[in-house]
Structure 1
Amino acid sequence: MLMKKIYVIFVIILLGFPIVSAASSLKTYNAPEGATLNDKFKVFVKLTDKKDWTQIPSYMIYVDEVVDTKHHVRNSSMATFDFEGSVEVKIVCRAENINKAKVRPLSYSISHSIVNDSTLMFRLDKPANLSVEVNDDIFGNLHLFANPIDKYNISENSKDVVYFGPGVHEFKDGVYRIESGKTVYIAGGAVMKGQMLIENVHDVRLIGRGIIDPKVKMGIRIANSRNVYVEGLFATQCATGGSENVTIRNVKVISYYGWGDGMNVFSSRNVTFDGVFCRNSDDCTTVYGTRLGFEGPSCNVTMKNSTLWADVAHPIFIGIHGNPDKPEVLENLNYINIDILDHKEKQINYQGCMAINAGDDNLVRNVRFENIRIENFRQGQLLNLRIFYNKKYCKSPGRGIENVLFRNISYNGDNAELSIIEGYNEERGIKNIRFENLKINGELIYDEMPGKPKWYHTGDMGGIYVGPHVEGVSFVKSDLGSLGDA
């Protein structure tokens, strides 16, 4: 009888049934001497079942505020730690009393409490990249990056690893060039005073919990490389050009200067962004063809489980750059499980939380936007799909946009301007655009929705203009059980 019981347990383990672990851990990092800090917030964290709090450093970072068409650099804050299990967070605001507060993304439903007018407290049960905002201040906020535990177990004695430990690291020409076959580890508590350059190499890992200094523009650059993995770091930008088989996971980028795009993709294939956070002074994430010395189309690009915040321009932008002398196809692009916290763009030509503007004879096809939650952005459009000829950036209009799916998209707010879907001419049009479970301020927008007059276009009910040279636009309702937070 005993042998039979042992056998059953063994079979259960082999079949992959989950084994519950009660393990919990917390890892924090001291700021190195010479790092620039911001004392607006004092940040503390502890395991839920422990008594003692640990203070973590709040770094000075910079964001962009546009006021009356002018850019202004604002001081902001960033703090980071690693954990597994459950933690409590305590944030003391030293600059003002806390009358109200938000912990975003709102879809995470993180409840919080205000204690003694100056202290905000909440609990986290899983890693998250957050914006903590006091008294509606979205510029002097705290960016709190609660990472999963770093389990690499890398130290300065690890073999085949270039190790940068806690401290400030400077480079003679402001650039650190990573060699093929290398793992570069930047430990928590390390601040890099230079760009991390992955160029003309292969089989590279750039990992850790360190910081590329917020004053370093284009903190991470991947160019003409293959088999690249980047994880866990903070920088201003992380661009990929002329490369293939690139994975960028849990990387946070925040920029404040002109043309400070977050995570560009130029002429690249098989690029995955997973769990990233982008707050940028230009487009958060883009997919282009030929541009800036990189040649060829882009394909098989996926961004998932991520958070986007565009202080200027688009959260998601596709299609404007290519090679009209040798027309390109940008295809198989996926944006899945994303929170868009903000979009601010006064220029109508550059609006759209989800924008596909085909230029330079590009054909953009097979694009999927799924489970995307859009909060009440400041100014712009929900979406903008156009065959685009902007002489400032293009040599010709695009060839077309085809096969775009918007599934489980939600917008809650009152600042969206009129969205646009518009082709260029009979030869350069848009076709096969499907909206499935589009939800605006709690209302599902679909062709047979109640209250829609038969003579109305469905887009009229959602503030979406469907213009000329567009065919095959549908708005449908499917299984609402798949909507989730959307």
Structure 2
Amino acid sequence: MEMKLRNEILVSVSAATVFLLGGVILTSAGCSTLPAAAKVTTYAGPRGEPPSDDFCVRVDGKPVFVYQARVSAVPFNQSWPGYERPLDQTEIASFACWDMSGPVTVEVVSKQAVDRVAVRPTSYGIQPKVDGNRITFALKRPRQVTVEVNGSHKALHLFANPPETDVPRLTDANVRYFGPGMHRPGKIVLKSNETVYIAGGAVVHGVIEATEASNLRILGRGILDVSTFKRETKVWAENDPSFESKAPNERVAIHTATDGGVFGGAISLCGCQNVHIEGIVIRDSNRWTLVPAGCRGIRIANVKLIGLWRFNTDGINIVNSEDVTIDGCFIRSFDDSICIKGQPGRCWHGYVAGTRPVRNVTVSNCVIWNDWGTAFQFGDGAWAPEIAHLLFRDCDIIRTCHIAMGFGPAYGGATIQDVRFEDIRVEIDDEASKPMIQQGREAKYTGTKGDYCPRLIYQVIGKHMTGSVRNVLFKNITVTGSGRRFPLSILRGFSAERCVENVVIENLRINGKLISDLATGGFTIGKHVKNVKFQ
């Protein structure tokens, strides 16, 4: 139920004020702002939300509710457009959230025996102490980590937030407020100057959409859950026997006309300006999760994406948009985690944006776990006047499946240029399994652990891509973790005009070794590649 300030009882607890809403306590110091008070703020899980079967968590002695999230168990995909994924390819992971204003001690009790444990990103230098099935470690500041007991399966994801400082006035007519508890609003359509606030301890079963709106905010510490929305199942081939003979742009037109522009996704923004999304968790999207299409002035901060197990569940897709910042986010996605796209026709929810560029995008301080696709991807489309001025900085890729940093647009004619990857840390899992395509609905995954290593850099121009890739910098790239397998890279153009050129690789280190040439770094250079430099 959507709530507009239904505060029944006020009580005083440890000099902080709390609201008791629907039987669940939400810590708060007022209706407009939340000043720093308690060192740790926790939120009870709502009635009807099942707790994790695998972990219990305390932070500075305070119990923290641990949620469940379905995730991919194996790197097993279906050729596009696919269908709703079978559950036997998935597993249940766990996650917990709290706010903190200073260093804390985190205590995790695993319900399985602990033979080994890893806290990632490893660049944080967190060394857990293990006593039986009890794991403890210090967390110096708000950040996102995973706790992996006996390997990566059924992992625990911990989302430590800073204290809230931008809580909207709940009496404002333009605020759609969801207090602690379970809510089922379905589709939420925003208009200009509106705010959605999802409080800690709230689970909102719904999706958020806006078209040509401005000055929007989506904030809070709660969860936007898309699990009740089915994946779109209408496909090109079902409705057009000549699908395979169609040109790529004709296939897209057929698809959008058939589906009526209804594709799914958790947050879909079409032609919007000045949008701020911060603090929430998004769980179990039914397709691309968070999509600005044809937008300008988008800020996404401290957003956590988890439970993306279905086919084609990308994380954040920037489609023909400008002036976008993604900062301090955690993304565990099945398909591509952060993807830069130029899309033709009615590219998303029936909105036409293909004439707009992708420009001025900054991704920073993010943690990425990719279960099937690519961590940072440019493609599959490059239908745009320009794709340029893009910065990926200070990010940890704790797992990726196919590629860490990939340029592989299949179609379109944009030139991708002026791209920088700086201070990117990539962890290679010795137990990684080879990705496979499912051959028929009854086929089972047959890969084994430890027989695969993803690519580090992939810059390839395909036969349907008529643009080029140029002026790309890879600086301070660190690869760690694999003592057995070496991540390879490939650069290849298609023709003299459709080439890869002006690539600088500065201070690339693999397991501590400085890479100063192509051969040592495992690079394959194909035709139509110009001016690759190591520094």
Equivalent in the alignment of 1:469: 528
Equivalent in the alignment of 1:87: 104
Which residue identity does 1:110 align to in structure 2? Answer: I
Equivalent in the alignment of 2:245: none
Pair 68,355 (structure 1): closer, same or farther in 2 beyond 3 Å: closer
Q: Is 1:57 aligned with 2:57?
A: no
What is the SS of the residue equivalent to 2:530? strand
Equivalent in the alignment of 2:393: 336
- Any idea what the Cα deviations from partners look like across 1:241-281, whole Å, max 9, x if unmatched? 11100000000112110000000011101110000111111
> With structure 1 as the length reference, what TM-score do the two structures score?
0.83
Deviation at 1:125, TM superposition (A): 1.2
Which residue identity does 1:232 align to in structure 2? Answer: G
Pair 68,284 (structure 1): closer, same or farther in 2 beyond 3 Å: closer
Equivalent in the alignment of 1:423: 493
- Output the CA distance in 1 between the equivalents of 2:301 and 2:162: 12
Pair 242,305 (structure 1): closer, same or farther in 2 beyond 3 Å: same
What is the SS of the residue equivalent to 1:421? strand
Equivalent in the alignment of 1:452: none
What is the SS of the residue equivalent to 1:328? coil
Q: Is 1:297 aligned with 2:357?
A: yes
What is the SS of the residue equivalent to 1:374? strand
Alignment of 1:211-290 (within 5 A): 211-213=223-225, 215=227, 218-235=265-282, 236=285, 237-254=289-306, 255-290=308-343
Equivalent in the alignment of 2:40: 26
Which residue identity does 1:375 align to in structure 2? Answer: E
Checking the alignment, whether the CA contact within 8 Å between 1:23 and 1:85 is kept in structure 2 is no
Q: Is 1:126 aligned with 2:141?
A: yes
- Output the CA distance in 2 between the equivalents of 1:125 and 1:24: 16
- Any idea what the Cα deviations from partners look like across 1:181-222, whole Å, max 9, x if unmatched? 012211000100101223321001110001012515622222
What is the SS of the residue equivalent to 1:120? strand
Equivalent in the alignment of 2:366: 306
Structure 2: runs of 5 or more not aligned: 1-35, 79-84, 230-264, 433-452
What is the SS of the residue equivalent to 1:382? strand
- Output the CA distance in 1 between the equivalents of 2:142 and 2:460: 37
Equivalent in the alignment of 1:445: 515
- CA RMSD across the alignment: 1.8
What is the SS of the residue equivalent to 2:382? coil
Which residue identity does 1:175 align to in structure 2? Answer: K
Q: Is 1:322 aligned with 2:382?
A: yes
Equivalent in the alignment of 1:189: 201
- Any idea what the Cα deviations from partners look like across 1:434-453, whole Å, max 9, x if unmatched? 0010111111112xxxxxxx
- Any idea what the Cα deviations from partners look like across 1:384-442, whole Å, max 9, x if unmatched? 001123xxxxxx22321110000000111244453100110112111100001011111
- Output the CA distance in 2 between the equivalents of 1:240 and 1:443: 39
- Any idea what the Cα deviations from partners look like across 1:360-402, whole Å, max 9, x if unmatched? 122100000000000014332001001123xxxxxx2232111
Deviation at 1:113, TM superposition (A): 0.5
- Output the CA distance in 2 between the equivalents of 1:438 and 1:241: 34
Deviation at 1:153, TM superposition (A): 4.3
Equivalent in the alignment of 1:208: 220
- Output the CA distance in 1 between the equivalents of 2:498 and 2:228: 41
Moved over 6 A (4+): none
Checking the alignment, whether the CA contact within 8 Å between 2:52 and 2:68 is kept in structure 1 is yes
Pair 216,300 (structure 1): closer, same or farther in 2 beyond 3 Å: farther
Deviation at 1:31, TM superposition (A): 0.5
**Matched positions, count:** 418
What is the SS of the residue equivalent to 2:53? coil
Alignment of 1:397-436 (within 5 A): 397-412=465-480, 413=482, 414-436=484-506
1:148 to 153, 162, 176: 162
Equivalent in the alignment of 2:460: 386
Checking the alignment, whether the CA contact within 8 Å between 1:280 and 1:311 is kept in structure 2 is yes
What is the SS of the residue equivalent to 1:461? coil
Deviation at 1:164, TM superposition (A): 1.1
Equivalent in the alignment of 1:19: none
What is the SS of the residue equivalent to 1:459? coil
- Output the CA distance in 2 between the equivalents of 1:282 and 1:216: 20
- Output the CA distance in 2 between the equivalents of 1:125 and 1:183: 32
Q: Is 1:97 aligned with 2:113?
A: yes
Equivalent in the alignment of 2:403: 352
Equivalent in the alignment of 1:5: none
Equivalent in the alignment of 1:13: none
Deviation at 1:152, TM superposition (A): 2.6
- Any idea what the Cα deviations from partners look like across 1:76-133, whole Å, max 9, x if unmatched? 1010000001111111112x11121111000001121012x11101111101111111
Identity of aligned residues (%): 33
Equivalent in the alignment of 2:51: 37
- Output the CA distance in 2 between the equivalents of 1:287 and 1:275: 18
Checking the alignment, whether the CA contact within 8 Å between 1:319 and 1:364 is kept in structure 2 is no
- Output the CA distance in 1 between the equivalents of 2:534 and 2:365: 25
- Output the CA distance in 2 between the equivalents of 1:33 and 1:156: 23
- Output the CA distance in 1 between the equivalents of 2:519 and 2:304: 37
Checking the alignment, whether the CA contact within 8 Å between 1:156 and 1:164 is kept in structure 2 is no
Equivalent in the alignment of 1:369: 421
Checking the alignment, whether the CA contact within 8 Å between 2:184 and 2:204 is kept in structure 1 is yes
Q: Which has the higher contact order (CA 8 A, sep 6+)?
A: 2
- State which drifts further: 30-39 or 280-289: 30-39
Checking the alignment, whether the CA contact within 8 Å between 1:370 and 1:407 is kept in structure 2 is yes
Pair 246,86 (structure 1): closer, same or farther in 2 beyond 3 Å: same
Pair 417,337 (structure 1): closer, same or farther in 2 beyond 3 Å: closer
- Output the CA distance in 2 between the equivalents of 1:247 and 1:330: 19
Which residue identity does 2:187 align to in structure 1? Answer: V
What is the SS of the residue equivalent to 1:90? strand
Structure 1: runs of 5 or more not aligned: 1-21, 47-52, 345-350, 390-395, 447-457, 477-486
